[in-house]
Amino acid sequence: MIKLIVSDVDDTLLPESTMDLNPEYFEVIKKLQEKGVIFVAASGRQKVSIKKVFAPIQGSIAYLADNGTDISAGDFVESMKFEEEDYVKLAQDLESLNSRGFTYMPSMPDWNFVDEAREDFYQVVLGYGCQVKKVPDLKALPNISKVSLYDPDGIPSDVEEAMKERWSDKMDVCIAGSCYLDFTKKGCNKGKGLEILQKHYGITYEETAAFGNADNDISLIEKAKYGYAVGNASDALKKAAYEVIAPMQEDAVLGKLKEILAEMEGKCE
The per-residue pLDDT for range 48-58, each reduced to its tens digit, is: 999 999 999 99
Same domain, 41 and 11: yes
The CATH number given to whatever domain includes residue 138 is 3.30.1240.10
Final residue of a domain: which of 135, 155, 185? 185
The CATH number given to whatever domain includes residue 59 is 3.40.50.1000
Same domain, 178 and 196: no
Range 34-51 average pLDDT: 98
Residue 261 has pLDDT above 90, yes or no: yes
Q: In whole angstroms, how far apart are CA 75 and each of 59, 72, 78, 191, 254? A: 11, 7, 10, 21, 28
Same domain, 99 and 120: yes
Same domain, 106 and 69: no
pLDDT above 90: percentage of residues in the chain: 97
Cβ of 146: how many Cβ atoms within 10 Å?
29
Helix axes 252-268, 24-34, angle to 10 degrees: 30
Same domain, 175 and 209: no
Residue 171 is predicted with a pLDDT of 98
Residue 62 is predicted with a pLDDT of 99
Q: What is the mean pLDDT of the chain?
A: 97
Same domain, 165 and 242: no
Contact between 216 and 44 under an 8 Å Cβ cutoff? The reply is yes
Residue 225 has pLDDT above 60, yes or no: yes
Final residue of a domain: which of 133, 153, 185? 185
Residue 255 has pLDDT above 80, yes or no: yes
Name the pLDDT band for 268 (thresholds 50, 70, 90).
low
Residue 253 has pLDDT above 80, yes or no: yes
Name the pLDDT band for 177 (thresholds 50, 70, 90).
confident
Same domain, 10 and 141: no
Residue 238 has pLDDT above 90, yes or no: yes
Residue 266 is predicted with a pLDDT of 87
Residue 170 has pLDDT above 60, yes or no: yes
Domain count, the chain: 2
Residue 267 has pLDDT above 90, yes or no: no
Range 69-76 average pLDDT: 98
Cα end-to-end span (Å), the chain: 15
Same domain, 180 and 89: yes
Contact between 157 and 179 under an 8 Å Cβ cutoff? The reply is no
Same domain, 74 and 193: yes
Same domain, 174 and 110: yes
Same domain, 180 and 192: no
Same domain, 133 and 200: no
Residue 269 has pLDDT above 80, yes or no: no
Domain that holds residue 124: 84-185
Final residue of a domain: which of 139, 155, 185? 185
Residue 192 is predicted with a pLDDT of 98
Residue 29 has pLDDT above 80, yes or no: yes
Dist. CA 51–CA 44, nearest whole Å: 13
